Amino acid sequence: METVKEGKTTAIVAYITIIGCLIAITLNMDPKNGFARFHIRQAFGIHLIFHGFALFSSVWYNPYALYGLYLCYFILWIYGFLGALNGKKQAIPILGPYFQKWFTFIP
């Protein structure tokens, strides 16, 4: 429980834009925290997927797809952010376990 308390701030910072995620990665370098690492990977995945699809949709513009993208991003962001606030290690649906496997380079 103590590791959750220590890593909570870093985990919350990770969800605040992609820049916040990069800041959280640097904050978690020296005293590595498992709870913060989990949420940094989740947030990094959410932000990366969002920016990837946003770039794709900028080429083939469809307003309904863009609305769907923002809605999906917002729901996943809220889900992850509330998990970090409540001190839970809950992976986002479907992609969460993959983010933990793919982003093992995040300390």
Domain boundaries, the chain: 2-102
For 65-95, the pLDDT digits (tens) are 889 999 999 999 999 999 999 999 999 989 9
What average pLDDT does this structure show over 89-104? 91
pLDDT confidence of residue 77: 95
Does this model's pTM top 0.85? yes
Provide the b/e sequence for 81-106 (b: ≥16 CB within 10 Å).
Answer: bebbeeeeeebbeeebeebbeebeeb
* Contact in structure between 6 and 47 (CB atoms under 8 Å): no
* Contact in structure between 53 and 24 (CB atoms under 8 Å): no
pLDDT confidence of residue 2: 63
For 18-54, the pLDDT digits (tens) are 999 999 999 998 888 999 999 999 999 999 999 998 8
Q: What is the distance between the alpha carbons of residues 65 and 57, in angstroms, rounded to a whole number?
A: 8
